[in-house]
Structure 1
C-alpha cells in the first residue's frame, strides 16, 4: 500500500494483536481507511474539549476542528434535534432556513462575495469551485502548494499531492513551495507556475490554497498571499480560498483566514467546522465569477443545504458570537503559542513554533537540526498514552499539529502544556 503523507504520518499500522473491533472494521470497510495512533482510541462520548473512551477515560482533544465549538454543544444539539423532529428535505422546496443562514454567512465576508452554493463536504465544495473557475476563465490550469490537501473527489485528488499513494497530480496542475521563504519568493513561484501552465496550453484557471497552509506545515505569515493573488488576477485567473482549516474564527484574528492576508477571494470554500459535525459545506462566490456556471449548469445536491444542516450551521454561528469564540481563539491561542515557544527555546529538538489563534504547528528536529518524522510520531503517540490527542503535518511529517476546539480554555492549556513538557523532556 502506498504511503500517504497526510493519512499515514500518524496512522495505525496494524499487527497480529489487533483488537476485535479493529479487525471487524478492516473486514467490512477494507484497507483504504486509516485510524489514528499506534494504539487507536475507541471513543464513545464527547463534551466540549474532552473525549471519553469505552472505559470512561477522559482525553484532552487538541486536534479536532470538526466539532469546532465543542463536542456535543447543547445549543447545536438542540437546534438539530428540533429541526429533525419538524422537517428535513432537499432544496428544491422552499424553506426559510437556507435563505436566513446564507444572509448571515455572506455578511461575514467582503461585499464582493455575494452568493453561496451548498454541498455536504469540503471535497465537494472544492470540486464545485474548480468547475466554476474553469467555466469563468475558459482555462483548466491550477496552481497549488507542494503538500496541499483539498479533498478526495477525482478532481480534487488531482490537486492534493499530500494524499500520495497511487494518486497523481493532473497534467494541468503545477505546485509551488509553501510560503516559508517570504512573500516575494512565493509570488515569484506562482508567477513561474502560471507561465508554465500557459506554455503547456492549459492556461490559468485558478490558484487554490488553504490560507493557513496547514498540510504544508502551518505557515501563518499574512503578507504572503496578496502579491501571489495579484499575479493570478493579472493573468485572468481566479483565487480560491480554501477555508476548511482556518475558517470560522479559528485563527482568532478574523472570521476567515483570507482576511488576515488582506485579500478578497473570488471563491471561498468551507466544510468541516461549519456544522460542528453535521455534514454541511459551501462555496461562496463573487456573482460575476459564478455567472457562467450558474447560468449554464443546473446544480442540485440532494442533501446540501437541507433544513437540519442549516439549523446546525446557524447554531454554530450563534455559539461563535455568543461565546466570543474568536476572541477566545486569539487569547488562548496567543498564550499557548508563547508557552510552546518558551518550551522550544529550552529544547534543541524543538524548532519553530508557528500559527495563529488555535491553529499551531511545532517543528520536531533531529540533533543535527533536520526534520525528524520518527520523533514527531513518537511524541504524538506518547501524548496519546497520556490522554492528550494531537497529530502531525508538513512535507516531512515532523510538524506537530495543534488544533483544538474553539472552546479550549486556559485550564485546558495548562493540562496540555504540562503533558507536553513532560513528554518532550524524554525526547
Structure 2
C-alpha cells in the first residue's frame, strides 16, 4: 500500500488506474472488461489502452499508436521474441502434459536452470506463478525449521495466495499483518543512514526478538533481493550478507524472491541475491522465467524438500509442463546468445547516468538508484522539505503515457518510478525514455 500526500492509504495498483465509478461512461471495450471481471478488474490509466500486439520493447494499441514499454518485466527478453515463440509452438504441436511422465525437454530445462543456481539447491519444483512458488517456499521453510514466524520488509509484495498475501504488506487495503509476520523498514539510507548493512541487520534482530515475545520462532526472512515494491534498493552490494547470517543464527531460513530481479535483470549477476555474495536456502522465481508464458519455480535443498513432502507432498497439474519448459529453455538461450545480462549492465548504467544528470538539475528528482535495468527514480516536493510526492508521480506517469512511454510506481508513498524495460533495450530507446522525462520536467 502507499500513503499519498493527504495521508490516504491506497494500493500501488490503484495509482493511475481506471476509476470504476466512471463505468457508465466508459468506452465499450472497458465496459466489457468490467462486466466480465467486476471488482477484481485492474486497468492502468484513467483512459485504459487496448493493446493488440508487441515486439521487443514496444507495444501497439488498437488505434495504431506504439508505446515504449518500461513497465512490464514479464517479457524480459523482449515481447514476442521469435525464439521463444518458435519453442512454444513446436512443443505445443508435439506434446503437452504433466510431470507424472518423463519428457526430456523438462529435465533438460531443469538441468540448465540448476546450472545457474547454487549447487546446494539441487531440487526444483515448477509451478505456474510466483505466488505459488512463494507459498510453497514458506511452507517448506516452516517444516524445515519448526518455526512459524516470517520477516518481510514494510512494503513488500510476494504474491496473492491466502498465505502469501498475509506476508505482503503492500497488498493490504485495510487491517494489519497477522501475529506471525513482522515487517521491518526498507534498506534505505533514510532509514539506516550510511551503514545500511548494520541498520538492516539490527532491524532484523529486533524482529526476531519481537517474534520471541509473541512466543514464536522464525521460519524465514523472505525478501525480493532488489526490494522493488519497497522502491528499488540495490546498494551497496553485500548489505544483505549479515542479515542472512542473523536469520540463520536464529534458526530460520533465507528465501530469495527472484521473481522480479532474477534472470539477468540486475546486470552484475544472473540473480539479485548474487550481488550480495550470499547463497539462499530457497530461491523462488517467476514472471520473466517464461517471457510471458506462465511458469514459476522454487529451488531448495533436497533435505528441506524431503521433510516437507513427508507430510503433504506437492503436485501441480500445469507446473513444469513441457511447453513451459520449452519457453523457459528458450529464455535461457536468448539471454546467453544475445548477451542480455551484459546489455542490462551497460545500457542500465547509461540510463542511470542520464537519469542522475536530471536529478542534478531538477530538485523534484530526489534520488536515482538501481542495478542494471531495474532503476528507481524518487520524486519529491521541494516546497515540503523534499517530501515524497505521489501526486506528482501520477502526473509524471500520465506525462509519459502522453509521450508514448509506459511506466509504473513503487515504494511506500508511491512516489518512486519503477523503471524495468525489457533486457533487449537499446541505447536509443534509453535516450527516448530519458528525453521524455526531461520534457515532462521542463
Q: TM-score category by the smaller chain?
A: over 0.9
C-alpha contact (below 8 Å) 2:179/2:214 kept by paired residues:
no
Q: Report the secondary structure of 1:30's partner residue.
A: helix
2:242 alignment counterpart:
227
Q: What stretches of structure 1 of length at least 5 have no aligned partner? A: none
2:157 pairs with 1:142: no
186, 195, 202: which one aligns with 2:209: 195
Identify the residue that residue 112 of structure 1 maps to in structure 2.
120
Match of residue 277, structure 2, among 256, 262, 272: 262
Match of 1:297 among 312, 315, 318: 312
Mean CA deviation greater in 215-224 or 68-77: 215-224
Q: Aligned equivalents of 1:30 and 1:19: distance in 2?
A: 16
Q: Is the contact between residue 210 and residue 245 of structure 1 (CA under 8 Å) also seen in structure 2? A: yes
Matches within 5 A, 1:281-320: 281-320=296-335
1:59-89 per-position Cα deviation (integer Å, ceiling 9, x unaligned)? 1001111000000000000000000000001
Distance between the aligned counterparts of 1:167 and 1:246, measured in 2?
29
* 1:396 and 2:396 correspond: no
Partner of 1:47: 55
Number of the residue aligned with 1:64: 72
Cα 1:410/1:325, change in 2 over 3 Å:
same
Q: Tell me how far apart the structure 2 counterparts of residues 293 and 4 of structure 1 sit (CA, whole Å).
A: 37
- The aligned counterpart of 1:9 is 15
SS at match of 1:252: coil
Report how far residue 402 of structure 1 moved.
0.6
Distance 1:157 1:259 in 2: 26
Partner of 2:84: 76
The offset of 1:205, in angstroms, is 0.3
Task: Kindly indicate whether residue 176 of structure 2 is the aligned counterpart of residue 162 of structure 1.
Answer: no
Of stretches 182-191 and 16-25 in structure 1, the one that deviates more from structure 2 is 16-25
Deviations 1:362-384 (A, max 9, x none): 00000231000000011001111
- The whole-number CA distance in structure 2 between the counterparts of 1:303 and 1:45 is 26
1:17 positional shift: 3.0
Indicate the residue corresponding to 1:276 in structure 2.
291
Alignment deviations for residues 122-165 of structure 1 (CA, whole Å, 9 cap, x no partner): 00000000100000011110000000000000000000110121
Residues 158 and 167, structure 1, Cα contact 8 Å, conserved in 2: no
Deviations 1:346-374 (A, max 9, x none): 00111110100000000000023100000
Q: What is the count of residue pairs matched by the alignment?
A: 424
For 1:203-222, what aligned pairs fall within 5 Å after superposition?
Answer: 203-221=217-235, 222=237
Asked whether the 8 Å contact 1:9–1:393 carries over to 2, the reply is no
Contact 1:10 1:392 in 2 (8 A): no
1:253 aligns with 2:268: yes
Aligned to 2:401: 384
After the TM superposition, list the runs of 4 or more consecutive aligned residues in structure 1 that deviate by more than 3 angstroms: none
Structure-1 residue corresponding to 2:182 = 174
CA distance in 2, matches of 1:13, 1:96: 48
Match of 2:5 in 1: none
Q: Once the two structures are superposed, what CA deviation does each residue of 1:399-418 show, in whole Å capped at 9, x if it has no partner?
A: 01110000011111121111
CA distance in structure 1 between the partners assigned to 2:109 and 2:199 by the alignment: 39
CA 1:310–1:33: 2 relative to 1, 3 Å:
same
Q: Which residue of 2 aligns with 1:92?
A: 100
Q: Deviations over 1:228-277 (max 9, x none)?
A: 11100001100000001100000000000000011100000000000000
The one-character-per-residue Cα deviations of 1:296-341 (angstroms, maximum 9, x if unpaired) are 3221100000000000000000100000000000000000000000
Residue 32 (structure 1) shift: 2.1
* 1:89-119 Cα distance to aligned partner (Å, 9 max, x none): 1111111122111111111112222111011
TM-score normalised by structure 2 residue count: 0.94
Offset at residue 203 of structure 1 (A):
0.7
Alignment root-mean-square deviation, CA: 1.2
| CA displacement, residues 272-293 of structure 1 (integer Å, 9 cap, x when unaligned) | 0000001100000122322211
